[in-house]
Amino acid sequence: MTAPRPLGYWVRTVAQLIEEQFQVAAEESDLTRREWQLLNRLRIGAVAEDSLRDAMAPFLDGDESLDDPLRRLTDDGLVVHQEPEYRLTDRGVERVDEVQEIAAQRVRDQATDGVSEDDYQRLITTLERIALNLGWQTE
């Protein structure tokens, strides 16, 4: 083990590593991380464009935009934009299910290798508590 490091270091490091590993897995499914995040959010249900952009804002880097990923998903027939909202097509639902099974599970399995289910659940609960303490509000 390395020398102890602060919480922020580990949160940023783990987020970056998950991003990198997911990108590798998603690219095998021909999706970018942003496209996957959009598909996964739309799997919950149709959402107005402004609400979708607000929900995705914390995941974007700097000047990064959702325009290109949304255009590609629409062009590929996975998402449809019917003013004022975006929603998945039947093909989009199938694609989300496929990627979820392949990429997300693979990354989660890799990330939690050697971590008990109890430890994983404790970690998630602790991180949620920290987020709430710092002002995060559930939707």
What is residue 53's predicted lDDT score, i.e. its pLDDT?
87
CB neighbour class for 100 (10 Å; exposed up to 12, middle 13-18, buried from 19): middle
Residue whose tokens read 């709430």: 132
Query: What is the CATH number that goes with domain 7-104?
Result: 1.10.10.10
CB neighbour class for 88 (10 Å; exposed up to 12, middle 13-18, buried from 19): buried
In angstroms, rounded to a whole number, what is the distance separating the alpha carbons of residues 81 and 41?
Answer: 14
Give the DSSP H or E segment for 81: strand 79-82
Q: Convert the pLDDT of each residue in 89-101 to its tens digit.
A: 999 999 988 887 8
Phi then psi for residue 52, to 5 deg, are -65, -45
Q: Would you place residue 1 in the very low, low, confident or very high pLDDT band (cuts 50, 70, 90)?
A: low
Greater confidence, 64 or 79?
79
What does pTM read for this prediction? Answer: 0.62
Please give the mean pLDDT across all residues of the chain: 90
